[in-house]
Amino acid sequence: MTTIFHKSSPGRKAFHLPASEVKETTLSFQRQSKLNLPQLSEIDVVRHYTNLSKNIYSIDQGFYPLGSCTMKYNPKVNEDIAALRGFTQLHPLQPIESVEGALEVMSLANDLLKEVTGMDQMTFQPAAGAQGELSAMLMIKKYFEHRNESQRTVVIVPDSAHGTNPASANMAGFKVKTVPSKDGYVDLEALRTMVDENTAALMLTNPNTLGLFEKDVIEISNIIHQNGGLLYCDGANMNAILGKVRPGDIGFDVIHLNLHKTFSTPHGGGGPGCGAVGVKKHLIDFLPLPYVKDNEMIEHHELSIGSMKNFSGNFLVVVRALTYLLSLGGNGLEKTSELAVLNANYLYSQLEGYDLAHDVPFLHEFVLSLSRIKKEKNITALDISKGLIDYGIHPPTMYFPLSVPEALMVEPTETESIETLQYAAKAFNELLNEDPQKLKNAPFTTKITRVDEVKAARQPLLSVHQDDD
Ligand SMILES: *Cc1c(COP(=O)(O)O)cnc(C)c1O
């Protein structure tokens, strides 16, 4: 691979600065040796990154049905608004009276997302869904400490949960216990036997990771609350239920949203995100600080868990989310969910020869199991995923959830046309009739074809030396 360091040539520059009029000073803690930066002309830098950008795949290039990721089209108007100088040129240490517009953005986003979730206050500080989960777990911990119920050290997580759920509970210092699922739903009988005076919370993804709405959520809420625990909603899949059901109305005490999924900020490359957390009244005092409410920055709370990120989090993600919320309106949000569910169900209806992991009604995504197909045709979930790349389609989420063998998790999202869904169905269907031996080497049309994944995992090459070829 040719990196930008390989293209470096001593003395080349992409910039020209006028001679400085300011006297040079020496800083303490200066580095001992010069920083090794590549030296290139402007056009070589532009070409290098433009060519790199062509080797990746994005939602602006094609269909991206990556389950549990909500790779919907992000309207460009969001970018236009987030790029306004009045937003991009703000400094977090500016006097508060000079940032009233920004306060209003956060305040309005707070009000609208309270309305969407049925919660009483939001924080936009967490930078990702997982950090939202961690914030909520820390709040729950502090809540019980404050009530002298520190013996509540256990968080229950269903076996179908996103891997971040048990990890977040664990990082917050809880013991994690797994409740099994039955036919894709939380097993109520098993749950009843697990809940006791040591239970702090249950983390429930709804709709769950199989795309199924947990139909017994009221019963689950009763089981948890009667035992004094709290109910956490992983709301990263809110795309399926906007305007249909509010988690705050059905027993959840706290929820995290992924503004960078449901509320349309481009994501996937590790860019800025926002795992907004919404809480009911009894948890407000524990929120990380600062947060915004009624155009005011709330900066002090004795019981706050502290700060999860500097200042108010990734503010421009909130600007995008607010743009999205205001441009769709309540009816638009409801329609979004209807189309997300319709598109998933339509795409599945066009597939021939595939099996659902659980043959029950699903919402915005569905999980296939290719176990039977693997036995009968020697075609695996990995083969189909790689084959889809040759059709210009990003693979679905593979081998997740772990409870499903040979899983493919498909989330088309609401922004795809019927023609795209028909094309995708054709691709899925044709791949099942491919020569399995040939499919083992797919993809054929990409710069790098089928890689040796075991070798990539066992002998990762994480740095490129300049004198390497
Ligand atoms: C994406 C996702 C998360 C984690 O969100 P990040 O922003 O990637 O940390 C958690 N739970 C579910 C169900 C998700 O889909």
Closest atom of ligand 1 to CA, residue 68: 15
> What's the CA angle centered on 321, arms 208 and 91, to 5 degrees?
130
| 469 Cα distance to chain centroid | 36
Report residue 402's pLDDT band, with 50, 70 and 90 as the boundaries.
Answer: confident
pLDDT of residue 467 exceeding 60:
no
pLDDT band at 453 (very low <50, low <70, confident <90, very high): confident
Q: Identify the residue whose C-alpha is closest to ligand 1 atom 1.
A: 69
Distance of CA 40 from the midpoint of ligand 1 (Å)? 39
pLDDT at 466: 54
Q: Dump pLDDT digits (tens) for 252-274.
A: 999 999 999 999 999 987 779 99
The side-by-side arrangement of strands in the sheet containing 254-256 is: 121-123, 277-279, 254-256, 230-234, 199-205, 154-158, 175-179
User: Cβ distance 242 to 262 under 8 Å?
Assistant: yes
Q: Which atom of ligand 1 is nearest to the CA of 205?
A: 13
Phi, psi for residue 332 in degrees, rounded to 5: -65, -40
- How many angstroms separate the CA atoms of 179 and 169, rounded? 14
Q: Which residues of 309-344 are buried (b: 16+ CB within 10 A; e: fewer)?
A: beebbbbbbbbbbbbbbeebeeeebebbbebbbbbb
Same domain, 278 and 211: yes
Co-location of 308 and 374 in the same domain? no
Average predicted confidence (pLDDT) for the chain:
95
Q: 129 and 186: one domain?
A: yes
Instruction: Tell me the pTM.
Output: 0.91
pLDDT at 36 over 90: no
If asked whether residues 129 and 264 sit together in one domain, one would say yes
Query: 97 pLDDT band (50/70/90 cuts)?
Result: very high
Nearest atom within ligand 1 for CA of residue 133: 10
Same domain, 282 and 386: no
The verdict on residue 359 lying in a domain is: yes
48 assigned to some structural domain? no
Could you tell me the CATH number of the domain that includes residue 353?
Answer: 3.90.1150.10
Residue 164 CA, ligand 1 centroid: distance in Å: 7
* Same domain? 303 vs 340: no
* pLDDT at residue 380 greater than cutoff 50: yes
**By residue range, what is the domain housing residue 173?**
76-325
Which amino acid type is present at position 88? Answer: T
The reply to whether 22 falls in a domain is no
Domain stop point among 325, 341, 360: 325
pLDDT value, residue 462 = 82
Q: From the CA of 68, how far away is ligand 1's center (Å)?
A: 7
**Ligand 1, residues at Cβ distance < 6 Å:** 68, 128-130, 162, 164, 205, 234, 236-237, 258, 273, 275
Number of domains in the chain: 2
Interior CA angle at 339 toward 393 and 266, to 5°?
55
* pLDDT value at residue 139: 98
**Same-domain pairing of 373 and 288:** no
Do 311 and 387 lie in a common domain? Answer: no
Is the pLDDT at 1 greater than 80? The verdict is no
CA of 71 to the centre of ligand 1 (A): 12
118 alpha carbon to ligand 1 midpoint, in Å? 20
Going by alpha carbons, the residue nearest to atom 5 of ligand 1 is 129
Q: Are residues 181 and 111 in the same domain?
A: yes
Whole-number pLDDT of residue 28: 87
Predicted confidence (pLDDT) at residue 425 exceeds the cutoff of 80: yes
Per-residue CA distances from 231 to 161, 202, 226 (Å) = 14, 5, 11
User: pLDDT of 193-209, one tens digit each?
Assistant: 999 999 999 999 999 98
Instruction: Report the C-alpha gap between 102 and 96 in whole angstroms.
Output: 10
pLDDT one-digit tens code per residue, 335-353: 999 999 999 999 999 999 9
Is 18 inside a domain boundary?
no
Under the banding of pLDDT at 50, 70 and 90, the label for residue 469 is very low
pLDDT of residue 296 exceeding 80, the answer is yes
Residue 315 domain flag: yes
Q: Ligand 1 atom 15: the closest Cα is on which residue?
A: 68
Identify the residue whose C-alpha is closest to ligand 1 atom 12. 236
The pLDDT of 288-308, averaged and rounded, is: 96
Same domain, 187 and 97: yes
Structural domain contains residue 131? yes
Local confidence band at 40 (pLDDT 50, 70, 90 cut-offs): very high
Atom of ligand 1 nearest to the CA of 209: 13
User: Which of these three, 325, 342, 377, is where a domain ends?
Assistant: 325
Of 250, 276, 231, nearest in space to 113 by CA: 276
Residue 90: which CATH number? 3.40.640.10
233 and 114 part of one domain: yes
158 bridge partner residues: 179
| Domain boundary residue, one of 288, 303, 325 | 325
Same domain, 162 and 246: yes
Name the amino acid, one letter, at 374.
K
- 319-329: pLDDT as tens digits: 999 999 999 99
Assigned domain for 7 exists: no
| Three-state SS at 177 | strand
Nearest-atom index, ligand 1, CA of 258: 7
Query: Is residue 53 a part of any domain in this protein?
Result: no
